[in-house]
């Protein structure tokens, strides 16, 4: 069976060499007589797997010793509560920028724990743009400033890192992590659900500046307390061992590809050709301000919504899968993360061109 091009937003396609290696190591990891799935998380073997994954991530993303890397559970969504519980402190106020559905979810959850202000919003535009920083109404005494660098559903991506002065900057990097170089030192905390550019779902990677540890409110559940998770090397309880191992394989693969600089070059090329095709063809449209179009998630509509079903059926028949847009937006969405080969984007464009000719 040949593999399809899977454009799902997450869980998303993984690099084929990673899956092959996981398959080859499935029954017997390097002579241990067992799968990584069956290993004690306290075993020397698993501890090595875990530490190597962290080390590789540190190298790839340029994470200094000023930061702790945590491999947590509960996906990015659990961080929507974990972050305010750990960082709001006594003063209990934080600022959030609203650029779409994932920002909104983060805001709604944080609002249960403190004085959360929306510092800026692009809702009036239908979330088709990023509000320029000059217009943000931020508070210098906020415990942190939160934003969503890439809105996975809207297909909207910042092309700048906000200036937050002394206020720690917190970013939900779920759908952009490792897709391009990043200056980690600008952030207080970065978090990313794994199921796009990192590995299987459930795992969430948290990169936190060490001075932000140890500030959790007393009622914070132990499993959500960054200090506790950090002190225990992300093994306060049984971690998501297999997901952690797979993330490690993805990090090795990324290094072999030349790291995030090399990925960024390919990602820029993939996204540019898809947007150029959409813009150049009257049959398709993408509503996002060109400056802020996502490299990872490309939503588009057809000239006639009534053709959506036919489009999806034809795509499926060609092994171009999961192009249906998010239920809240409609239309189509092609997620083209690191592991989507350029040939997949070429095949999609080819199909779209033929479809427009036939139905346009
Ligand atoms: N934030 C962003 C930007 C996302 O794209 C997603 C998932 N699509 C989430 C948060 C939620 O992630 P999870 O399902 O891992 O909780």
**What digits encode the pLDDT tens for the residues 106-154?**
999 999 999 999 999 999 999 999 999 999 999 999 999 999 999 999 9
Q: What pLDDT score was predicted for residue 90?
A: 76
- Alpha carbon of 104 to ligand 1 centroid (Å): 12
**CA–CA separation, 168 and 212 (whole Å):** 9
Question: How far apart, in whole angstroms, are the C-alpha atoms of residue 10 and residue 6?
Answer: 10
How far does the centroid of ligand 1 lie from the alpha carbon of residue 286, in Å? 22
Which of the four pLDDT bands, split at 50, 70 and 90, describes residue 185? very high
Determine whether the annotation assigns residue 133 to a binding site: no
Domain extents in the chain: 17-256, 259-359
Q: Which of 29, 95, 136, 196 is catalytic?
A: 196
Structure token digits, residue 200: 């299987």
The CATH number of the structural domain formed by 17-256 is: 3.40.640.10
Does the C-beta of 267 come closer than 6 Å to ligand 1?
no
Residue 127: phi and psi, rounded to 5, are: 55, 40
DSSP 8-state symbol, 11: S
> 259-359 architecture in CATH?
Alpha-Beta Complex (3.90)
Buried b / exposed e across 305-333, counting CB within 10 Å, b at 16+?
Answer: eebbeebbebbeeeebebbbbbeebebbb
Give 234-282 pLDDT, tens digit per residue.
999 999 999 999 999 999 999 999 999 999 999 999 999 999 999 999 9
Give the pLDDT of residue 156: 98
Whether 80 shows a pLDDT value over 90: the answer reads yes
Going by alpha carbons, the residue nearest to atom 4 of ligand 1 is 174
DSSP string, 143-196: S-EEE-SEETTTTEE-SSPPP-TTSPEEEE-TTTTTSS---GGG-SEEEEESTT
Predicted local confidence at residue 327, as pLDDT: 85
* Ligand 1 binding pocket includes 174 (Cβ within 6 Å): yes
In sequence order, what DSSP letters do the residues of 45-60 get, joined into one string? HHHHHHHHHHHHHHHH
Active site residue 95: no
pLDDT of 48 > 60? The answer is yes
- What span, in angstroms and rounded, lies between the C-alpha atoms of 209 and 169? 10
CB of 148 within 6 A of ligand 1: the answer is yes
Kindly report, residue by residue over 151-176, the tens digit of the pLDDT. 999 999 999 999 999 999 999 999 99
**Which of 9, 12, 74, 75, when mutated, tests ligand 1's pocket best, judged by the most ligand atoms within 8 Å of its CB?**
75
Predicted local confidence at residue 293, as pLDDT: 98
Check residue 3 and give its pLDDT.
Answer: 93
pLDDT at 1 over 60: no
Nearest ligand 1 atom to the CA of 150 is 3
Two domains, one topology: 17-256 and 259-359: no
Question: Which percentage of the chain shows pLDDT scores above 70?
Answer: 99
What span, in angstroms and rounded, lies between the C-alpha atoms of 40 and 196?
27
Q: d(Cα 95, Cα 108) in Å, to the nearest integer?
A: 12
Would the pLDDT of 91 be above 90? no
- How confident is residue 360, by pLDDT bands cut at 50, 70 and 90? confident
Look up the pTM and report it: 0.98
Whole-number average pLDDT of the chain: 97
Question: What's the CA gap between 169 and 179, in Å, rounded?
Answer: 19
Q: What is the pLDDT of residue 2?
A: 82
Q: Flag whether 176 is marked binding.
A: no
Tell me how far the alpha carbon of residue 153 lies from the centroid of ligand 1, in angstroms. 10
Task: Pinpoint the alpha helices (H) of 43-120.
Answer: 44-61, 75-87, 101-110
Query: pLDDT tens-digit profile of 295-340?
Result: 999 999 999 999 999 999 999 999 999 999 998 888 999 999 999 9
Ligand 1 site, residue 149, Cβ cutoff 6 A: no
Question: Mean of the pLDDT values across residues 178-203?
Answer: 98
Whether residue 76 is annotated as binding a ligand: the answer is yes
Active site residue 196: yes
CA quadruple 252, 256, 259, 264: dihedral sign: negative
């Amino acid at each position: 069976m040949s593999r399809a091009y899977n454009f799902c937003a997450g869980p998303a396609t993984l690099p084929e060499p990673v899956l092959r290696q996981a398959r080859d190591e499935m029954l017997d990891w390097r002579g241990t007589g067992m799968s990584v799935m069956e290993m004690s998380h306290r075993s020397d073997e698993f501890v090595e797997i875990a530490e190597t994954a962290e080390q590789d991530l540190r190298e790839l993303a340029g994470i200094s010793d000023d930061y702790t890397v945590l491999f947590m559970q509960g996906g990015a969504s659990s961080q929507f509560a974990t972050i305010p519980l750990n960082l709001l402190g006594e003063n209990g106020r934080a600022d959030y920028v609203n650029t779409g559905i994932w920002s909104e979810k983060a805001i709604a959850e944080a609002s249960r724990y403190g004085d959360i202000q929306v510092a800026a919003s692009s809702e009036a535009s239908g979330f088709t743009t990023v509000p320029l920083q000059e217009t943000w109404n931020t508070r210098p005494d906020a415990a942190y400033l939160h934003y969503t660098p890439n809105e996975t559903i809207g297909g909207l991506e910042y092309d700048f890192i906000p200036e937050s002065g002394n206020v720690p900057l917190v970013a939900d990097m779920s759908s952009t992590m490792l897709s391009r170089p990043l200056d980690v030192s600008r952030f207080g905390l970065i978090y990313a659900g794994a199921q796009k550019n990192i590995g299987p779902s459930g795992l969430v990677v948290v990169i936190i500046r060490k001075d932000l540890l140890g500030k959790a409110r007393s009622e914070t559940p132990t499993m959500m307390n960054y200090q506790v998770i950090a002190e225990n090397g992300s093994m306060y309880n049984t971690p998501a061992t297999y997901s952690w191992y797979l993330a490690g394989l993805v990090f090795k693969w990324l290094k072999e590809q030349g790291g995030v600089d090399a990925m960024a070059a390919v990602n820029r090329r993939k996204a540019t050709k898809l947007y150029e095709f959409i813009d150049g063809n009257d049959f398709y449209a993408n509503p996002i301000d060109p400056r802020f179009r996502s490299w990872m998630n490309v939503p588009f509509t057809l000239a006639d919504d009534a053709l959506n079903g036919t489009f999806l059926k034809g795509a499926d028949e060609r092994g171009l899968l999961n192009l249906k847009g998010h239920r809240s937006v409609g239309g189509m969405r092609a997620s083209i993360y690191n592991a989507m080969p350029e040939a997949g984007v070429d095949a999609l464009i080819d199909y779209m061109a033929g479809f427009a000719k036939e139905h346009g």
